[in-house]
Amino acid sequence: MINFILLISRQGKTRLKKWFVPCPERDQFRTIKEVSSLILNRSPKVCNFLEWRDYKLCYKRYASLFFIACIEQNDNELLALEMVHHFVECLDRYFGNVCELDLIFNFHKAYYILDEILISGELQESSKRAVLHHISEQDPLI
């Protein structure tokens, strides 16, 4: 399962965070600090996986944003990257060529879209069309 998912800008600002396991507020901020400094300092040529405590961090950079997923030891790393990519593609389709500003001004929509893709740290829908169908249905409401 995914323990938490983070969107961090290149400057280290948090654009989105979601924990799927109980974790006190203070620890979340400490983790974000630790994880983002680890990842922002990695060179672009190295692999997208990183062992961190008892977990694995799988991350990918899209333009100015790092998407980070923390998974468990025996989870499939590439699959985590694919889940992240699926989320990015959904954001992209929804916003039409998504950029960091979209996520800043529409942070609430990003959370809403994430809720349609991942719950309890597991992927619930892998068809972009199905996800977007649900979102667009409720878009006027938000």
Partner 1 sequence: MVDAFVPSTKRGLRKFINDVRGCNTLQDEQVRVRKELANIRQKFANAKALKAYDRKKYAWKLVYIYMLGHEVEFGHMEVINLASSKNNSEKLVGYVAMGVLMGHDEDLARLVINTIRSDLVSGSAFAQRLALTFTANVGGHELTQALSADVLRVLYLPESKPSTRRKATLCALSLWRVNQDLIDPSEYLSVVAIPALEQTFEMGLNLAVLGTLKSVARADPMAYQAVYPVVIRLLEKVVLGESVPSTYSYHGVACPLVQVRALEVLALYDFPTDAELRKTLVHILTKVLSCNDDINPQSMNQSNANNAVLVEAINLVIQYGEQVDREMMEKVVAILVKFVRLSDANVKYLGLAGMSKLAQMAQREGLASVLDMIRDHHHTVRQSLEDQDGSIRKRALDLMFSMCDKGNAHEIVGELVEYLKTVSYNLKADTVRKIAILCDRFSDDRPWYVDTILHLIATAGDFVPEDMWHRLVQVVTNNEDTKAYAAAAVYKMMQPSHVHETTIRVGSYLLGEFGYFLVEGNQQSAQDLFDAINQHLDYAGNKTRAMMLHAYAKLVLLYPQLHEDVTLVMDAFRDSSDPELQQRACEYFALAQQDRVRQQAVFEPMPAFPEAQGEEAAETARPNPTPESVKAVDAQVETQVEDLLNLADKSSFTPAPEPELKFGKEPRRVWLANVLCEPKGVLFEDHFVQIGVQLQFQKAAGKLMFFVGNKTGWVLDQALCTVLGNDALEVVAQPLEPAVLQPRAQSRFSVAVTCHKPFADRVPIKVSFQANGQFEFIDVDLPVSVLSFASPCSFPDADFDQRWDAMGDRVQQTTPLDHVGLERIDAVVAKLTALKLAPTLSADKRTLRGATTIQTATVNPKTGKPAVVGVLVRMTCVAGSSSLAVRAVNVAAAVGTLTTVKDVLLVL
The residue ranges that bind partner 1 (CB under 8 A) are 1, 14, 16-20, 22-23, 25, 28-29, 43, 45-51, 54, 73-74, 76-79, 81-83, 85, 94-96, 101-102, 104-109, 111-112, 115, 119-120, 122-130, 134, 138-142
**What's the closest the beta carbon of residue 55 comes to partner 1, in angstroms?**
9
H/E stretch holding 8 reads: strand 2-9
Distances (CA, A) of 40 to 34, 44, 67: 10, 9, 11
Nearer to partner 1, 63 or 142 (CB): 142
Nearer to partner 1, 1 or 63 (CB): 1
**What's the closest the beta carbon of residue 134 comes to partner 1, in angstroms?**
7
Q: Which two tokens stand for residue 116?
A: 């349609």
Grouping H, G, I as helix, E, B as strand and the rest as coil, residue 21 is: coil
Given a contact cutoff of 8 angstroms between Cβ atoms, the answer to whether 39 and 50 are in contact is yes
**What's the closest the beta carbon of residue 12 comes to partner 1, in angstroms?**
12
Grouping H, G, I as helix, E, B as strand and the rest as coil, residue 6 is: strand
**What's the closest the beta carbon of residue 42 comes to partner 1, in angstroms?**
8
